[in-house]
Structure formats: C-alpha cells, structure tokens
Structure 1
Amino acid sequence: MSEGKINKTVYLKDYCPPDYQIKTVHLSFYLGEEHTKVHTKLSITRSLGKEAPLVLHGEALELLSIQLNGQLLTENSYQINSEFLILHQVSDQFILEIETKIYPQKNTTLSGLYVSEGNFCTQCEAEGFRRITYFLDRPDVMATYTTTIIGNKEKYPVLLSNGNLIDQGDKEHGEHFATWQDPFPKPSYLFALVAGKLSSIQDKFTTLSGREVSLSIYVQPHNIEKCAHAMASLKRAMAWDEQAYGREYDLDNYMIVAVDDFNMGAMENKGLNIFNSKFILANPETATDTDYQYIEGVIGHEYFHNWSGNRITCRDWFQLSLKEGFTVFRDQQFSASQSGAVVKRIEDVNRLRTYQFREDAGPMAHPVRPESYEEINNFYTVTIYEKGAEVVRMLHTLLGETGFRKGTDLYFERHDGQAVTTDDFVKALEDANQANFFQFRLWYSQAGTPELHVQSSYDVDQQIYTLKIKQICPPTPDQPHKKPFHLPLTMGLLDSYGKHIPIELVGENYITEGIRILELKNQEETFVFKNIPTKPIPSLLRGFSTPVKLHFELSDEERCFLLAHDSDPFNRWEAGQQLAVKIILSLTKYYQEEKSLNVPSIFIEAIAKVLENYQTDDQSFIAQLLVLPSEHYLSEFMEVIDPEALYQARTFLRQTLAHSLKDSFNTIYHRLTSEKPYSFNPQEVGRRALCNICLGYLMALDETEIHQHCFQQFKTADNMTDRIAALSYLADTKSTEREAALSMFYDQWKQDSLVMDKWLSIQASAKCDDALEIVKQLTSHSAFKLTNPNKVRALIGAFCQNNLVNFHHPSGDGYKFLGEFIRKLDPLNPQIAARLVSIFSFWKRYDSKRQVLMKDQLEQISHSPNLSKDIQEITLKSLKMN
C-alpha cells in the first residue's frame, strides 16, 4: 500500500448523535486573488447529557485565530491536526469565532471553495465544507446561515449564496458586498457560494398558493443564449412537483449557476443550485436531443431535492439513498411525464442492468444503505442512486399511486426540518397505509442482485397453469447468506392472439383483468391459475417491476410473439433484447471456436416486422427496439469476458441486419429525413432517433455511396443531433470523409468547450485500430484539460468504458495508459481518479492474461506515494476480489 494514511472504516452501527449542535452560522468571505479569508461565527449548544470535547472537522485550512465568547484563544487552549480542531474547555452554550485562510485558486480537487474560469464556486457534498472552515461537518447538524461575501466589484460583480438577499452595497477600494440569509436550517453540505462575472436570465413562477418566486440562471456571458431550455424545464418541474406531490417552493428566489469545472452533474444547495454547465447550456446547434433530455431531468432532480433532500435530509451518509434514491425516482417520473413513459423506462432499466448489476457483482458491492465505508465519495454510486430509485419504485407499485402519495404526504409532514433515515421513510409509507414492510426493508440492507428462476406447466384437462418461482440472491463479500426479499412481480397471461387471459388464482374468489402483481416473500413460491382455456404465453416482470435477473426459458418463437404482440411495451422491447442476447452469445462462441457465423432468420423477420410499423408506432420506441444490447450488458452473461469475440459477434449481427433489411432502412431513412426547423418535442425526437438509427445500420454496410450520404447529412444538418450522429458513424470508418468531417467539426466548434467534449468522445469511442494512439495524442491537444472533469470523462472515460475492444487489447497497452493517467490525476482530483480506477475492479472476469495485466496496474497504483483515500479503498478491495 502507498505511503499515505491508512483508511479508517466508518460503521453504521457506531452512529451516535452529535455531541454539540450549531444553531446559527454567520460567515464572512473576503475574496482575494491569491487567498481567501473566512470569518466564521457559530452559536453552539452542547447536546443534553454529553460531556465530550468539541471536535470540529477541518481539511487543508490555515488557522488564523479562534475566539471563544469574545476571548482570543492561545495555541495551548486547543489541539489541531490535519483533520480536526479540538477544544476541551467549553461551556454548554457559547459563541465560537474562527478565522481561516484558504487557497481556492489552487484547489484542483473541486471540493470546498475553488475557482472555475475565474469565478469562485463551491461544492460541499459530501465533506467539502471542512475545506472552508472548521465545523461539525456532518448532515445531522442543521443550522441557519447568514453569509456575507466581499470582493472586488469589477472582477466579481455577482455575489451569491443560499437564501434571500438581505443587504448589499459598495465598500472602499473598489470592493462591494452582499449578505444572504437562509431561514431554513440545513446541514453544511448544502452551503453554496458563487462570485464572478456572470450574466443571467430571469423569470417568475407563481405557486399554487399564489406566491411569486423569482427564477435566475447565471452563466458566463458568452453562454447567455443557451439557457432558455433550462429555464423552461425548471418551471415545468416546479409545476409538476406541486401537482404530483403537493410540494411548493419555499424561498423568494431560486437560483442556478452553471460552472465548467464540476465533479458531479449538479448540486442541490438550498436555493442556489450549482450545475455542471453540461446540464444547463443548450441550443439546437450545440446540444443533442439527449442533451436536452438530460438537462430537463437533472434540472428536475435538483429542484425536487428541495423537499426530498433539503427540507428533509439524511441523518448520516449511510442514508444517502434516502434523498438520492427517492429523488431519482421522482425525476424519472417527471421525465416520463414529459417525453414518454415507455422509452424513459427502457433507458432507466438499461442503465441499471448495464452498470448497477455489474457493481452488485464486483468488489465495491454494497447495500442501498451501506453498513460501512472508508471514503464517502466512493459511495455516490449507481447502487445508491439507480437501485435506490428502484426500491422506491417497488414501494410505489405495492402501494399504488394513491397509497404512495398518502405515504409521502405523511413523510413530508412528519419529518420536515429533520435529518432522518431510510427506516423513517418506509415507516411513513407503512403508517399511512396500515402496511407492513418489515421484510421489504431487506432491499436497503442486503447487497447483490436477486435472481428469479421460473418454471411453468399447463394442465390442458384441468385448465390450470402453474408458475413455480425460486428467488436466489448470490453471496457478496460481506454478506455470504441472504434472506428472501419481498418483491412485486407484475405479470400477465396472453393467448395465441396476444389478448389478455383473465387471471384467477386457485384459492381466490376474484378475477384480475389484464395484469396482476404477484407478491413474492419466500425463497420458493407456487402460483396456480385456474380457468385458463389454452396454454398461455406468460409476460413476466412487466415494466421491470423489480430489479432482478429473470431466468425463464422461452423459445425463439415465443419471444418473437411477445416482441410483436405483448401489450406491455417494455416487455415487447425486452423480448427482442433477450433474443438478441441469445443470438450474440451464440455468435461469440462460434467466433471463439472459429466456426462460420449465421443469424437465425426468425430474428431478421421479427425486426422486419418492427420496421413495417414505423409510421403507426411511437418512433422513439421503434428506435429502441432496433438498438442491440451493449457489449457491457452482454459481458454480464459470460463467465469469462472476451471483448474481441463479443465485439465481432455484435458487429456481425448488426451487419447481417443491415444487409438483409437494407431497403427498409434506406426507405425509412429517406422518408423521415426532414428539412423542417429543429424543435424539441417527443414526436420530433422520435423521428430523429429512428432516422439516425437507420442511418447507422446503413453505415454498417461500409459502402462508399452511403458514406457520402452520411457526410452530406453531417454538412447540411441544422442541429447537433443529426450532425453528431453522422460524425460518430463516419468516425467508425476508414473513409476519406472521416478526417474531413472531424476537421470541419473542430474548426467550427473549437471555441465551444462542451461541443469539443463531443469531438473528443467520438474519437475515443471509435473502433479504429489506432484508437489508443489517437487518444494519447488528444491528451496533449488544446481541447483537453487534465483538471476539467468533463474533459477527462469525454476522452479517458469514453475510451476505457465505451471502446472495450481497444481498451482490452491483449497487449495491455490500454491498461498501462489508464494506470499512468490515474497516477497523474489522483494528486489533482481524487474523486475523478477514483471513478476511473473502478474500471479495473472487474479484472477477475477476464482471461488469465488480461487478469495479470490489470492486476499489475492495480498493484502499481496501490504503491503510489501519497495515494488518496478514494483510490486506496477501491484498489485494496479490488485486489482482494475472489
């Protein structure tokens, strides 16, 4: 292990309420060009029955002075080290004043107060506030904040913080100040400050009760024309939350600031959200439909946090999913209401199965509510967010729309202004509905992805259909034995015409028309359906009602039937996906055995029927039906992952479909190509998606004429969606148009940082043989910046996570490149470096040669001097992987 400090494990079982509470916080920031001084005045009260010393968190701080009840303390009155400031002699109530000096301009971690493009901004979640001043930096310490910011008026004309503006004015020597007051108690992780040269757009929103709220979005002046979509999304989110959850906004203003350098997507600081500019800035020329959708979703997510995260926050970081899982579910509901529930559900499930299921099977597997952690930044994971949202979704399914709303109403009423736990959330839902979710709570405490093994039988004489279901949850490192989960399985039975068969269970005296929710609570369950006139085709796990791996043998004909006839659109898509998985895995095996490859005609015919309905069905949905399972998802079905074989097998299926259905793809592409001006609405998004999917299949034919059509779309497109689709397809070819298009794109957009991220990502993801060399060259390009997380994700992340065939080249050169990059990045930004090192965590899933090469990089990283806590935890757990 490195020469850095050994990580200390924090355990949920050791949680204790704070020894002290901070009632009020007065902060004064004196912004400087080399350093910033922070004066903090705290009103502190000892918790009843506590006799412990006052221990304040602090990191990377220069202490200037401490005053206790107005008396200056000498150095022998306190203890100080790199993590804490300790005062032993304090009374039950007292005023503590602390002055610190910090260096935001040198803060590359992007945690605490730092400078981005000349502007000051903050990121305090999870433990960034301790990089600003000494404090009880934990979420269960909630105080009211008054913040005064003082800075040069010319350099920093805009001064923002949480709450309402209560004073502002000019000072001597060209300085000015602004004072903000937040009337709602909050933990320190929700504190925010922004200062700089920013322009803004303004709007208003009138709440249901008639209060007028001022809305502001602040950006760098040259980006002011790219904020309209974000503002419209905010107003839609505010109206939706009132209607869906009865939640009104509570302050006089709501502010958003976009910054270029940001570790996360956005941050829900009370009344002053700070966003990665990627999730604010959009116009048709620079942003794709996907960008528009992400902006709408993230805007909604951070706004919804005002109640599910801010007004009610988490007691400790083990409860992180209390706010994140619930809020992700809420933003998924919102996005589904805006752009279509079916495609949104498909996208969410795709992300869950591709990344969260993989996480559940790896060395960093943890429950939705972890039992322990070493570095909390490593637990901002897809398990906390996406699986946490699925747990909330199951509660919604079990209770129904009305029951769930009753439960959340009680939750918001009961715990407003408190720091609580996931148990408190579930208890409110129980109490409002007289329900019992004792067993259901295992979803919060047990890690891993459950598997459902289903067997069926049909008795034609008795007209009885039987489903036997066994649930298994594989062991994880810290939990070798799992108890059965309480889970909802939404299902239906279809006849040979695709019509619903009424569902009546033996032992019950009522019939369900259409769908039925089966509640599974035991390891093995048997469900017997009576009065079933013909052998049915079951449609199981409709809408992906529970986050499991479903094992149920269906014939290719039955899957094609469901793809064509299932009334549940999600299961139509799922039938096609699982048939494609089966085919690609068979092709993979044939490729490994050097046998000839062929695609079953039944699949080609099924896709042909999908294409026939392109004018009558939802075109966004049709586009989803045409997307083959990703290599990431496919790899989860292989005992030993073979990236080369998977890539070749998937490519062969894609090319076969393109050859067999060329005329259909060509017809649809040309009929859907439109010269109408860009508009962002579900119909146009669907049209563009299907049109570009068809172009992608045609480009798989690698024909000169099609290359020229694609290049023409690239040159003439009036929007980034069509332009970037064409560029990405050209980048995967060896055509003469490839370099011309990349060069033209760069020349046109080199001044736009976010568009340059797309340019970097497309080249990093291209499957050309020299992809790694291109990526290496781009690390020295002016479009790349090591200290900017978006650039790192766009180039390094895209290559290592999206270009599997090249990253996992047998030479190990991709692994060496990533290892060197991680060692270079870790001293600058441990959080982003940790995201990259987790790519090595699954080294045991590959062949022995690749295992040796990846393990070697992990060992080299682990022995780096002064390794961050973030990296230490992941590398150590990865190396211990069985």
Structure 2
Amino acid sequence: MLFINTPLTKFKLTIVSICNPSANSTLMGLYVSGKSFFTQCEAEGFRRITFFPDRPDVMSEYFVTLNADKTRFPMLLSNGNLLEQKDLENNRHEAKWHDPFKKPCYLFALVAGDFDVREKTSTTRSGREVLLQVYSDKGSGEQTLWALDSLERAMFWDEKRFGLELDLNRFMIVVVRDFNMGAMENKGLNIFNASYVLADPETATDTNYTGIEAVVGHEYFHNWTGNRVTCRDWFQLSLKEGLTVFRDQEFTADMMARNLPEQAALSARAVKRIDDVTRLRTAQFPEDAGPMAHPIRPDSYQEIGNFYTSTVYEKGAEIIRMQHTLLGEQGFRTGMDEYFRRHDGQAVTCDDFVNAMESIYTKQYPQKDFAVFRHWYSQAGTPRVKVEIIYDEVKQTCAVTLTQSCEKVGVEKLHPELEKKPFFIPFHIGMIDAEGNSIALDVSSLENVTTTINDGVILELKEPSQTWIFQRISRRPFLSLLRDFSAPVYVDYDYSIEELAILCAHDKNPFARWEAAQELSSREILRLCQVFEHDEPASLNPIILDVWKHNLTDRSLDSGYRAWLLTLPAEKILFEKLSPITPLSLYQAREFVRQTLGSAHEKLWLETYQQNHHQGEYSPDPISAGQRSLKNLALAYLISSQSKQGIKLALQQYQSAQNMTDRMGALSPLLNYAPREISQPLSQDFNQRFQDNPLVMDKWFTLEALAAKDLQQINGLMQTPLFTLRNPNRARALLFQFCINNTLVFHAKDGSAYQFWADKVCELDRLNPEVAARFARIMDNWQRYASPNKEFMQKALQTVAQYPKLSKNTTEIVSKALNI
C-alpha cells in the first residue's frame, strides 16, 4: 500500500522497481522464456512489475522507453506506435513507444529479444496503410505464414461484418513458448502461446490450423471488444470475453463457408456450430453442475485467475448469440453500433452492453419486455426445458408446451432465501413428417414468437411454462428441437427410438440431425452401461446399425459433416447423463458400441476410407479437412474392431503421410487398439522424427497419455528428458490429457491415479499456481461418482487441501470442491 501526502493536485511521480524475471515461474508479470523477456499482465500481473492501482477501470495513456543490450535484445517492443529508435553507448539501444488510446494496465505489454519477423503491409477500408507483423523464435519464421494471413483476414472481416477498423499504425503478434493461456490481447502487441501461431503441414493438424485462425481472430477482435471498450471490474469479465468468443466463432464459421455453394456453406457453418456446442457441453455444462458453478457475471471470487472459465467464455458467447438470434443480424449490428457510440473509450459493465441491445429490441418489438433476459447474467446453472405436445388429428392442431426449470447450483445452494427466476430462452423449433418433409408453421396468430428461420420458428420462452398452438398441421409431426442450439439448455422430450431414427436420417436442419444421432447413441450407450454394470450379455440395437449405415452411405452430405454425424458422444458428455457416474462401465459400453459399429460395417468403412483418401498437396480448406476427418474416423472405427485391413491401411498411411493430420490419424488408433509390437515402433519413430519440435512433442505426449494402459507408463513419460512441469503446454499435454481423457487408467478401481493427481497438483502449485488451479478442477464433480471412486477422489482432494502453503488459486478450487 502506498500513501502520498502532498497538497499538490498535479505532480509527477517516479517509481523505481526491481524484480527478477528469470526466477518468475508463475509466468505472470515480467518473466523470461528462453532468452527473451515477456509480460503477462491480465488479470493482476502488472502489480508484479511495479506499484500501480491495478484495476481495469484505471485507464492511462502510456509512453514507454525500453533500454537494453543491442546484441542480446535487438528487438524492443511495447504497445501502440513506435516513436523512435536509437543507438546508445556501450552497445546499448533504446526504443520509445506511445499508445495514444487510454487503457488499463492489464493491457500493457513489453517484449525484448531476438526474433524472426514476418510482416506485410495492408490497407484498411479508410485507405490507411498498416503494418502487420508476427515475431517468433529464430528459425521458426516459415511457420508463421498462416497466422499472418489469418490476422489480415480477421482485420478485413471485422471491417465488413461490424464496421470496426484497426486504429493503430501497426499490429504485432509475438510468439512465446512458456505461456499460461492461449494468447493475450495487449493493445497492438498480442502475445501468443506458440501453439496458436506456428504451423506448417508437416507439424500442424487441421485442428491446429483452425485453432490458430480462431485465436488470432479472437485476440484481434479484442481491439474493440475489450480494449477500446473494457471492463469496469473483473466481475464484468464476460463483457469482453463472451462477446469476443461469439465474434471469433462467427469469424471462423464465415471463413469455413467462404467461396462455397449455398448447401456446402450451410454444412460448413453447421460443422463449426457442432464443434462449439460440443466444447460447451464437455467443459461448461459440467462446470455448471459442479462446486465452481457461477453466473457469467460472478458475484464474488477469492482469486480472479480462477474465473477465466468456460462459463465466462463459452456460455458467455451463447448468451451473446441469443441476443443475436432475438435481434437478427441487422438488429444485432445496430446494437453493436449503439454500444460503441455510447461507450467507446470507457470501462463499462455487462448491463451497459445489454442496455444497448435492449434499446434496439424495444424499437423492433415495442410491446415486448427484454428485462427477463438479464437473469442470464445473474443466475448460474444450465436450465432444463421440458417439451410436451398434444396433436389433435381432427382439429389439425399441435399444442407445444415448454416448461423451464433450473436448480440451485454452486454458491446458490448456500442461500435458501434465493428464488431462481425464469430465463428468457429463444427456443428454435421445427416439424417434419415421417418422410422427412418440412411442415410449414403458421405463426400469424401466435404471440411470443420472434421470427421464422428455414421452416422453423423461434419461440420466446420467458415464463415457467408457456404453450403455443400451431394450426393447420395436417399430419402428425416429428419435432426438431432446439435447432442450431438456440439456447444453452438441456432439452427433456420423450422421443421414441423410431422418432430419433427418422430425425437422424431426414431432418433438414444439420445441427438437429446431428443432435438426434447423439441422443440416439447416448441412450444406447447408457443402456449398455447398465448391462455391463451387471455383467449381462450385450448386443447393439439394430436401429443404431441401420442409422449409421444410412449416414455412412449418404453421399449428399459433406464429408466434414458426416464425420461429426458418425462420431459417438464424448465420455464427458455421457458422464453428465449418468447418476451416479460409473466411469469404467461407461467406458466399456462406449467401446462396445464403437467396436460393434466398426465390425458390422467394415466394408462400408473401408469404402469410406478409400473415397476420402487423397494424396496431394496439403490444404487446410474445409472441404479437404472434412475429407481427412471422415477418412481418419473410418480408420479409427476399423482399428477399434481389430480389422486387419484397417491396421494395414493405418500402417501405410503413417509411412506415406505428407501432413501431420494423416500421420496422427493413423498413429492414434494404432496406439489405442493395435498390439504394442505394431504401435510402439511407430511411436518411437514419431518421437525421433520430431523430438526437436516442442509443439509436435506436445502432441506425442498427448497420444501416449491417452493410450497408456497403466500409471507406470505415465510416470515413465514424466522421467523422459523432454518432459518438464515448468512449461504449461507440456503439463497440459501429458497430465491434463491423461487425467481428463484416459478413463480406463485414471479411474482405476484402486484409486492410485487419483493420488497421482493430488501429488502433481501440489508439485505444480509450487511452480505455477494458475496452472495448478486449473489442474485441480478435474475433481470438481467427485461427489457424483459411484463408490469406491467417490471415496478415493475425496481422499485425494483432502491430500491437496492439507498441503502446506497451498496457493490462493488452488485453495479456492479444492475448498469449494470439498465444501469447506
């Protein structure tokens, strides 16, 4: 705390600070990675550099002078525009930077080092020339082309879609190997985890290319939604993050759909939407059901670093998307214009954003009330929407009743006086007949309907229960529910297996068709879970086989979309449907379904593989990426069922692979399902080929973590010279992936892996509390597991809680999990 006693109202204060960046393993504030200096100031890193009122609403104009040895640090970078560079005595030099826009200190950045630079000059829509640059480690410059091109695409997209132009003379991206997060949007000087910049076909997968484009876009879009308009306080974090995630999702969808015919573009956008929803369900829905559940605008926190969560980011984006759905594209754009007109250059709140959107909504719909929508910002949990229909064949009417509910979660349980209020849920619904033909919906006499979309309609659910009666429905309808995932909710509707099969085969809405396939296979896996739990003989429902055959042979579908349509639900999604969670029987059931589908349709999988296996120059475009995705999915199904032909194809693909997607697409299922005498030589070959490339070795550690058959293998991997806990990427690649995704070993009945987790949380906590706290969250939902897993998990959590000098970050996570 600093006290300054002076009668002056204006004075100059000089503070000299001393720190030791090379000893800073937290990677917050000023630290060293390799031989270079970097900063990370969000959320509270600037206070590690110098004394400062470190709050986001304290906004200042920065003039920065950097002075260093010219040989060791030839490049000196900071925010904004470069004013001057000059040489000094004793082989030193300095650079002066000025950021003309007031900003909070969390957006301050400094980089000093020796880098490769890739750059291009581009022209904004107003005709200004701007310099775009990517700085990376010496020798890696060739791998930054995709990131630089992505930056330019993001710049042009933001101008076209939102009318927002780059406001500086240059925009810089700097790559760092040691970084706690994906990237940071410092004004004009973005600092990126190397995994979200460096790419070439030999070392990066299709997923890497898509991720780089998305993250580059995300950080660039923060220039307006986060920098020009920033948060008043950290409770408003979703103001910038939820909005910017929505923007980067739309950017990626538009990039995937560009230059494609209408139907192919629709399919490409559906693939992106499915990917986003899958990420939400695997990360955010469990968070909403656990001890760390919180609204997208939390009411309190012990450590702000713990609230960079999927709820703030991904659920926050869904809440922005709902406003986009309710307003329409043009209305949402008008709302964004109004938001910037009111608040450019300010530190504001989530309410300020909603106020801008509400002003447009009430102009469009003067009789409607938008106030209910604000409950999304103040209430936690995932609402459930129960759907009931009554079809009257004589009157030719169909009454649809939606009833919403949301139990108290997280800290809400500590407040018995709290009464949860209804949410404003835009619910996209369609109807089809038994042949898959769309049924036209007449909404002319209906209230609480926003708009019609592609033979569907948006119902505005604002009350605990509402009913809509559709007229002139001449045949019994099959309901297509929550199309395009129009709200982040669970849907409860008593579909029959036959109804789901029809939707799987015929629904014109790509998302809803995929959703029906997910629901169909989920039900079968959960049924088989009980079968295996009681050691009963198992068999697969023939309807599942028929649906998979139909979708495997539907050549009218895009390959990338078919890959999603034929993919089984993730274990983490299935865990949320099971109570109590019995991880090993669920794993067994899911593998049984995969292997049965693989063996029953072996011929079709082989044909699908051949139809999509193309050797040629690599391109990350959505058509090519989709073909690789479907081909590699077919290979995984074949190898899981021990197909000799599938194993042969995988061996051939690995040896002849001309890109990392195909190489890993062959190696991954071989490591998981083929005999070790076949898979291990390939794993060793992969290691030797790429041991000098840290990002590819992260991939290798992940492959080995997921395929490990016992804890001894994981301990062995940690002893290799290439493993270190000090690098967050390496820790995430091995430890996080093992504990999150290797169900068979992590959830072993003896509980040994849980104790392993506890030991590693404590070890990480000594080095990097932020990473340790994220790792600790793996046990959030321990109370939902069956015995003996539950008791072993509790014991492991108690081990961490009793660790001396545990950081505030990890203490908050573990204490909330244990409810202490």
* 1:532 correspondence with 2:473: yes
Residue 706 to residue 170, structure 1, CA distance change in 2 (3 Å): same
Bigger helix share: 2
* 1:782 correspondence with 2:699: no
Shift of 1:680: 1.5
Q: Which residue of 1 aligns with 2:619?
A: 679
The equivalences for 1:326-725 within 5 A come to 326-339=243-256, 340-434=268-362, 436-480=369-413, 481-505=419-443, 507-508=445-446, 514-614=455-555, 616-725=556-665
* In structure 2, C-alpha distance between the alignment counterparts of 1:780 and 1:92, rounded to whole Å: 60
Shift of 1:153: 0.7
Instruction: Tell me the secondary structure at the aligned position of residue 373 of structure 2.
Output: coil
Contact 2:238 2:313 in 1 (8 A): yes
* In structure 1, C-alpha distance between the alignment counterparts of 2:401 and 2:643, rounded to whole Å: 51
Bigger strand share: 1
Amino acid at match of 1:643: P
Instruction: Tell me the secondary structure at the aligned position of residue 821 of structure 1.
Output: helix
Q: Deviations over 1:732-760 (max 9, x none)?
A: 13242211101100111000000000000
Contact 2:668 2:703 in 1 (8 A): yes
Shift of 1:829: 0.3
Match of 2:743 among 804, 809, 812: 804
Shift of 1:90: 5.9
The root-mean-square deviation of aligned C-alpha atoms, in Å, is 1.4
* In structure 2, C-alpha distance between the alignment counterparts of 1:88 and 1:819, rounded to whole Å: 49
Shift of 1:437: 2.1
* In structure 2, C-alpha distance between the alignment counterparts of 1:160 and 1:492, rounded to whole Å: 54
Contact 2:289 2:410 in 1 (8 A): no
Of 324-333 and 470-479, deviating more is 470-479
Amino acid at match of 1:475: K
Amino acid at match of 1:824: E
* 1:224 correspondence with 2:107: no
Amino acid at match of 2:649: H
Shift of 1:472: 0.3
The percentage of aligned residue pairs carrying the same residue is 48
Shift of 1:89: 4.8
Q: Deviations over 1:637-660 (max 9, x none)?
A: 111111110110000000110111
Instruction: Tell me the secondary structure at the aligned position of residue 115 of structure 1.
Output: strand
* In structure 2, C-alpha distance between the alignment counterparts of 1:479 and 1:875, rounded to whole Å: 18
Contact 1:449 1:547 in 2 (8 A): yes
Amino acid at match of 1:380: Y
* In structure 1, C-alpha distance between the alignment counterparts of 2:400 and 2:668, rounded to whole Å: 46
Q: Which residue of 2 aligns with 1:240?
A: 157
Q: Which residue of 1 aligns with 2:229?
A: 312
Shift of 1:496: 2.6
Amino acid at match of 1:497: E
Amino acid at match of 2:433: D
* In structure 2, C-alpha distance between the alignment counterparts of 1:758 and 1:774, rounded to whole Å: 16
Q: Deviations over 1:53-92 (max 9, x none)?
A: xxxxxxxxxxxxxxxxxxxxxxxxxxxxxxx333355643
Contact 2:531 2:537 in 1 (8 A): yes
Shift of 1:132: 0.4
* In structure 2, C-alpha distance between the alignment counterparts of 1:582 and 1:827, rounded to whole Å: 43
* 1:819 correspondence with 2:758: yes
Residue 777 to residue 496, structure 1, CA distance change in 2 (3 Å): same
Contact 2:33 2:178 in 1 (8 A): yes
* In structure 1, C-alpha distance between the alignment counterparts of 2:613 and 2:812, rounded to whole Å: 50
Q: How many residues align?
A: 795
Contact 1:406 1:433 in 2 (8 A): no
Match of 2:693 among 746, 752, 759: 752
Match of 2:199 among 267, 282, 300: 282
Amino acid at match of 2:169: D
Of 166-175 and 342-351, deviating more is 166-175
Q: Deviations over 1:202-251 (max 9, x none)?
A: 10121110011101100001111101100111111111100100000000
TM-score, structure 2 normalization: 0.95
Contact 2:599 2:643 in 1 (8 A): no
Contact 1:506 1:528 in 2 (8 A): no
Shift of 1:506: 8.3
* In structure 2, C-alpha distance between the alignment counterparts of 1:738 and 1:747, rounded to whole Å: 15
* In structure 1, C-alpha distance between the alignment counterparts of 2:181 and 2:106, rounded to whole Å: 14
Amino acid at match of 2:430: G
* In structure 2, C-alpha distance between the alignment counterparts of 1:409 and 1:803, rounded to whole Å: 47
* In structure 2, C-alpha distance between the alignment counterparts of 1:163 and 1:507, rounded to whole Å: 56
Q: Which residue of 2 aligns with 1:25?
A: none
Shift of 1:811: 1.0
Of 512-521 and 176-185, deviating more is 512-521
Of 712-721 and 479-488, deviating more is 479-488
Instruction: Tell me the secondary structure at the aligned position of residue 227 of structure 1.
Output: helix
Q: Which residue of 2 aligns with 1:38?
A: none
Q: Deviations over 1:656-677 (max 9, x none)?
A: 1011100000011122211211
Q: Which residue of 1 aligns with 2:15?
A: 98
Q: Which residue of 2 aligns with 1:149?
A: 66
Contact 1:506 1:529 in 2 (8 A): no
Shift of 1:495: 2.1
Contact 1:749 1:755 in 2 (8 A): yes
**Unaligned segments of structure 1, at least 5 residues:** 1-83
TM-score, structure 1 normalization: 0.89
Contact 2:384 2:491 in 1 (8 A): yes
Q: Which residue of 2 aligns with 1:27?
A: none
Shift of 1:704: 4.1
* In structure 1, C-alpha distance between the alignment counterparts of 2:717 and 2:500, rounded to whole Å: 45
Amino acid at match of 1:360: D
* In structure 2, C-alpha distance between the alignment counterparts of 1:737 and 1:426, rounded to whole Å: 58
Contact 1:367 1:447 in 2 (8 A): yes
Shift of 1:455: 1.1
* In structure 1, C-alpha distance between the alignment counterparts of 2:794 and 2:271, rounded to whole Å: 39
* In structure 2, C-alpha distance between the alignment counterparts of 1:320 and 1:804, rounded to whole Å: 33
Q: Deviations over 1:463-504 (max 9, x none)?
A: 111111110011113325311001100111112332222212
Shift of 1:626: 1.0
Instruction: Tell me the secondary structure at the aligned position of residue 826 of structure 1.
Output: helix
Amino acid at match of 1:471: Q
Of 774-783 and 440-449, deviating more is 774-783
